[in-house]
Every structure is written in C-alpha cells, then in structure tokens.
Chains A and B, each alone.
Chain A
Amino acid sequence: MSGETDKTEDFDLIKRFIHGENRAFNELVLKHKNKVFNICYRYTGHYEDADDVAQEVFVKVYKSLKTFRFQAAFTTWLYTVTINTCKNKVSGARYRFFKSIFGFNKQYANDENADIEFGDEKYSPRQTSETKEKMNIIQTAINSLKSTQKEIVILRDIEGLSYSEISKITGLKTGTVKSKISRARELLKTKLEKML
C-alpha cells in the first residue's frame, strides 16, 4: 500500500515539475537521494565516486524527466538510470586508468583480506574495529563479483527489491535473475566463509 502511495506521490511531483515547478524536482532529489547514493556506493565501493555518480544520475533525471511516460514506477526508472550510470562510470577508460594509478581498486577487488581505507570513514557513525573490518570484507567480496551479478545482489539483498522489479530494471528474465543471484551468493558465501 505504501508502495502505491509512494508511486502516486512521485507522479504528482513529476507532473508539478513538468508544469514548471522546479521545487518539485528538489523534493524528488531529497526523497530518493539516499537510496540512489547507497546503490552507487555499493557499486563503486568508494564514497567520492558514489557522490559523483549519484549527482550525475539526478542531472540525467532532470534532463529527461519531461519524457517520463507514467507507465512504470518512478523508482524503477530511477534505479535503471542509476545502474547504467554506475556501469558506465566503472567501465570507463578514464576511471580505470586513475584507479590503476592509485591502485586501491585492484587491491580491494582481488584481495579479500585487504585493509581498505574507505572514504566514508568521516561520514559514517563510529564503528568498532571488528564491525568495520567485517563491512570492508563484505564490500570487497561484492566488488569482486561480475557487473551483472553485483547489480542484482545490490538490488535484491541490499535494497530489498522484488525479482520482478529487478527483472524490469536489468532487462533480464526473472528466471535469469534468480540463477544469476544464486551463483553470486554462492561466490559470496565461499569468499566470506572464513569470516562467517
């Protein structure tokens, strides 16, 4: 029920924006920024990159919001834009070049026991060193997944979306999504076995 009210609320905001009320767009940003940011953070594994990508997502939304068809939920469309922007950012030659120079991306992508200095340290609440280490290990394991597996795990296990929603966002069949998430979780289980 809350999903439906959310949907109609989003549609109202979009209609107001289309009619020239720029404040409605600000409300949309404030409403969805944390979810978009969290997806970006889990995808890139870096706070500053997540900030950059999340901003880019909302700029894209601002540009193409007038062409929104009101057929599917706004969040489905928003998450599709988010996932595609993340993909482009991470697979971009410039991004990979800088990451190969500074090296940390390789480190946390391949070495599951690596102690990673995440940019969110100053922003997140204080954690015990044990919990922090656990978080880092899980994030490292997520980063080691293939692109599609990663996006499905983020959408399902971290954001809690349904399989049909994930299917719409990724453009894959529900059966394919299920088989991909099974493989991804199996990989994560073997990577996190020591910790568990």
Chain B
Amino acid sequence: MNKICKKVQILLSLYIEDALENQEKKMVASHLSDCMECQHQLKLMQKTIDNLHQLEKINAPQDFLINVQQRVSAQSFWQTLKKIIFFPFYIQSPAPFASILAVLVLVVFLQKTGLHNKVTIDSMKDIKTGADLNKTHRYKKQKEAAITSERSSAMIQDVSKSIISKTSKRKRVFIFAYKKSFSKET
C-alpha cells in the first residue's frame, strides 16, 4: 500500500457521504478507478457505516419521567432548605451562624442546670477565705514587729548594764537619761 492509497483510504468515508471538496473528490475518484485494493476498502467502509446506521435505538425505561421528577424534587428540597436557613439572615457561610447558636445553647444550658450559681458561690467562698487570710497575715506582721521591739529593748538594757559597770557615775547618769528617752520613743 503506497502513500496515495493511505491518504485516499482516510478520505473514503467522507467520499461516500459526498462531504469532500471538489479537488479531493476528483483525486479519490481517479485513484479508485485504478486501485483494486482501495475499491475493496471502499466497500468495507460502506458496510461499516451501514452497520453503524443500523444499530438498534435503545429507548429509555417506562419510569424514566418519574425518576427524573423524583431527582428534581429531591434537589429542589435541599435548595429550599438552604434558602430557609441562610437567606433571611444574610449569612453567607454556616460557620458564624453555628457559633452564635452554640453560645446560645451554652447559656441556656448553664442557666437551666444551675451550674452558673454554683460557680459564683464557690468563688465567693474563695474571696471570704482570702479576706481571712489577709487578716491573719496582717496580725502576724504586727506580732513580729512587737517581738522585735521587745528584743531590741532587752538588748539595750543588757548593753547599758555592762556599760554602767565600767563607766563612772557621771556617765551612769547620762546613760540613765538616754535610756529614759529611748523607752519613751519606742
């Protein structure tokens, strides 16, 4: 099979249908008059096309329309449901709507179960005990301050005794006066 035969055989189906342009049509016709192989191929092509034309038409089942109607109504149901849920509030996505709903549900749930009150009472208790703790802490500090002042005065007395024993009478008088003034200050 030469190149021309190949080219002609591709055009054969269009030649049968008379769908070729004049130039191509003439070329195919002149080649067919000489080539036996291409004539045979022309017959085969004609049979192929005839077979395709004769293929049985398959009809849709009897309940086809009912099935289509069911599908259409099922889809339109979901569409209307979507419209009812989202369109009146101009909410584009379900996320914000869902979050608002979740918060509302949580609030209602807390109020119904009384968990909220329990939480406030517990927190009050905590505050009370906290006040008590503050009070004791302040008391402790005062007590510590008193102890330290007592200790310091005792220390001064000890120091003064030792000094008295060592120093003269004039000095003793001076120390006595100092001691007196110190005790007054504390």
Contact = CB atoms under 8 A, between A and B. Distances in A.
- Secondary structure type dominating chain B contacts: helix
A34 B58 CA distance: 7
A124 B45 CA distance: 27
Count class of interface residues, chain B: 20 to 34
A62 B48 contact: no
A26 to B, nearest CB: 6
A37 B56 contact: no
A192 B51 contact: yes
Given A158-B52, A188-B52, A196-B48, A37 B14 contact: no
B61 A123 contact: yes
Interface in B162-183: none
Contacts of B14: 178, 181-182
Contacts of B61: 51, 123
Interface string A53-92: 0111011001100000000000000000000000000000
B47 interface: yes
Contact of A26 (B11, B56, B59, B69): B69
B90 interface: no
Contacts of B69: 26
A182 B13 contact: yes
Nearest to A26: B65
B51 A138 contact: yes
A55 B61 CA distance: 11
Contacts of A120: 58
Contacts of A134: 51
A149 interface: no
Contact of A158 (B12, B55, B59): B55
Q: Chain A contact residues (Cβ within 8 angstroms of B): what range?
A: 35 or more
Contacts of A33: 60, 64-65
Contact of A37 (B12, B58, B72): B58
Q: Summarize A's interface: helix, strand, loop or mixed.
A: helix
A37 B19 contact: no
B71 interface: yes
Contacts of A34: 57, 59-60
A193 interface: yes
Contacts of B53: 157-158, 160
A124 B58 contact: yes
Closest 5 CB pairs of A and B: A157-B52, A37-B60, A185-B13, A33-B60, A41-B58
Interface of A: 26, 29-30, 33-34, 36-38, 41-42, 47, 50-51, 54-56, 58-59, 62-63, 120, 123-124, 134-135, 138-139, 153, 157-158, 160, 163, 178, 181-183, 185-186, 188-189, 192-193, 196
10 contacts: A30-B65, A38-B57, A38-B58, A42-B58, A51-B61, A55-B64, A160-B53, A182-B14, A185-B48, A186-B10
